[in-house]
Amino acid sequence: MKRLLFLVISLVLPTIVSAQEIRLPANLEKLSAKAVEVVEVNLDQRMLQLAARFMDPKDPDEQQAKKIIANLKSVYVRSFEFDKAGQYSEADVAEIRAQLQAPAWNRIVGVRSKREHENAEVYIKSNGDQITSLVIVAADPNELTFVSIDGPIRPEDLTGLGGQFHIPEVEMDHKAKSEKGAAK
């Protein structure tokens, strides 16, 4: 099964490279063999449009998804989950980071959580106020995730995913501030 998955990844990789201009390092793809769970999503514009046609108009999650993907060109996700820490190296992630350099890319967020041992980085390409591409690299000791979205996307859409798709909603700053205000 893992060999088949690796073969599929190897076949799909050139497509991703040409469409996305972000080369997934070969080492990263080899992590499939070590991972206990691999999520691989490859959606080009044709597939996104096809998916949009099959979204249930009565399902709010699917309607939200349809709205988000409406103008996207591609969505690629690689997520590797390991049963123990240390299965991937910093060098694996560094190869991706190396491609996300200024001036084309801007790292807008870099989070390092010592408590949760979870690091997350968000890179964007923008044209004026419009985000035209977005990459998320999230790494914790047991999981490595790479998300690449090509096309116009609004951060509000991603924030709006909280409370949907079985994702708990996050209380943002404004709410925290109001709580602090109430405590005073």
Q: List contacts with other proteins (CB under 8 A).
A: 37-39, 41-43, 47-48, 50-51, 53-55, 61-62, 65, 68-69, 75, 77, 79, 109, 111, 113, 115-116, 118, 120, 122, 136, 138, 145, 147, 149, 158-159, 161-162, 164-168, 170-173, 176
Q: What are the structure tokens assigned to 12, written together?
A: 């799909």
Distances (CA, A) of 89 to 27, 53, 64, 138: 10, 40, 36, 13
**Angle in degrees, CA 65, 68, 72, rounded to 5:** 120
Closer to other proteins at the Cβ: 54 or 91?
54
How many angstroms separate the CA atoms of 160 and 146, rounded?
A: 20
User: Taking the complex as a whole, how short is the minimal distance between the CB of residue 103 and other proteins, in angstroms?
Assistant: 23
Nearest-angstrom CA–CA distance, 17 and 11 = 11
Quote the least distance from Cβ 79 to other proteins, whole Å: 6
Nearer to other proteins, 129 or 173 (CB): 173
Shortest Cβ 13–other proteins spacing (Å): 17
Q: Minimum distance between the CB of residue 113 and other proteins, rounded to whole angstroms? A: 6
Of all helices (H) and strands (E), which one includes residue 108?
A: strand 106-113
47 token code pair: 């597939």
